[in-house]
A and B are shown apart, each in its own frame.
Chain A
Amino acid sequence: MTTIERKTIPVMDGLWQLETDGKPHLLGSRCEACGEVFFPRKTLNFCMNCHKESLEEITFSGKGRVLMLTKVERQPAGGFYKGAVPYTYGIVQLDEGVNIFSQLIDEPALSNDERVEMVVVKLYEEEDNDVMTFKFKAEIIREGDKG
Chain B
Amino acid sequence: MMGKNTQWKDVYVQGTSTTKWGFFPDVSASSMGSEAIVNALRDARTKWGEVEAVFAGSVYQGTASGHRVVGEIGFTGIPIVNVENACSSGATAFRLAYDSIRLGQYETVLAIGFEKMPRGPIPSTAFPGWQLAMGFNVQPANYALETMEYMRQYGATVEDFARVSVKNRRNGSLNPNARFQKEVSAEEVLQSAMIASPLRLLNCCPLADGAVAMVLTSKPESNRAIHVASSVLVSGVYGEESYQSGITASVQHYPSEGIVEKSARQAFEMAGYGPKDIDVVQAYDSMGPGELWDIEKLGFCARGTAPELLREGVFDLMGRLPVNTDGGLLSRGHPLGATALAQIHELVLQLRGEAGHRQVADPKLGLAHAMGAGPNSAVTILQR
Residues of A within 8 A of B (CB): 11-12, 15, 34-37, 48-49, 67-74, 76-83, 87, 89-91, 93, 97-99, 101, 103, 112, 123, 131, 133
Q: Is B270 an interface residue (CB 8 A)?
A: no
Report the minimal beta-carbon distance from A140 to chain B, rounded to whole angstroms: 24
| Chain B contacts for A34, CB-based, 8 A | 252-253
**Which B131-150 residues sit within 8 Å CB-CB of chain A?**
131-138, 140-141, 144-145, 148-149
Report the minimal beta-carbon distance from A53 to chain B, rounded to whole angstroms: 16
- Alpha-carbon distance between A48 and B238 when the two chains are bound, in angstroms: 7
- Alpha-carbon distance between A131 and B383 when the two chains are bound, in angstroms: 56
- Contacting pair B134 A83 (CB below 8 A): yes
Report the minimal beta-carbon distance from A77 to chain B, rounded to whole angstroms: 6
The 8 Å CB contact of A80, one of B137, B144, B198, is: B137
- Contacting pair B137 A49 (CB below 8 A): no
Of B55-63, B117-125, B208-216, B277-285, which binds chain A?
Answer: B117-125
- Contacting pair A74 B195 (CB below 8 A): yes
- Alpha-carbon distance between A49 and B241 when the two chains are bound, in angstroms: 12
- Contacting pair B196 A99 (CB below 8 A): no
- Alpha-carbon distance between A7 and B134 when the two chains are bound, in angstroms: 19
Quick one: closest B residue to A89, CB to CB? B141
Q: Is B247 an interface residue (CB 8 A)?
A: yes
- Contacting pair A72 B134 (CB below 8 A): no
Report the minimal beta-carbon distance from A72 to chain B, rounded to whole angstroms: 5
Report the minimal beta-carbon distance from A91 to chain B, rounded to whole angstroms: 6
- Contacting pair B121 A79 (CB below 8 A): yes
Known contacts A97-B251, A112-B152; decide if A81 and B135 are in contact (CB<8 Å). yes
Quick one: closest B residue to A102, CB to CB? B134
Residues of B within 8 A of A (CB): 121-124, 129-138, 140-141, 144-145, 148-149, 152, 193-199, 238-239, 242, 247-253
The 8 A-B pairs with the shortest beta carbon distances in the complex, nearest first, are A80-B132, A12-B130, A70-B144, A68-B148, A81-B135, A79-B121, A70-B196, A76-B138
| Chain A contacts for B133, CB-based, 8 A | 11-12, 80-82, 123, 131, 133
- Alpha-carbon distance between A99 and B195 when the two chains are bound, in angstroms: 24
| Chain A contacts for B123, CB-based, 8 A | 78
- Contacting pair B136 A101 (CB below 8 A): yes
- Point out which of B123, B145, B198, B247 has the most chain A C-beta atoms below 10 A from its C-beta: B145
- Contacting pair A36 B253 (CB below 8 A): yes
| Chain B contacts for A98, CB-based, 8 A | 249-252
- Alpha-carbon distance between A90 and B144 when the two chains are bound, in angstroms: 9
- Alpha-carbon distance between A78 and B135 when the two chains are bound, in angstroms: 10
- Contacting pair B129 A37 (CB below 8 A): no
- Contacting pair A77 B152 (CB below 8 A): no
Known contacts A68-B149, A97-B251, A97-B252; decide if A81 and B195 are in contact (CB<8 Å). no
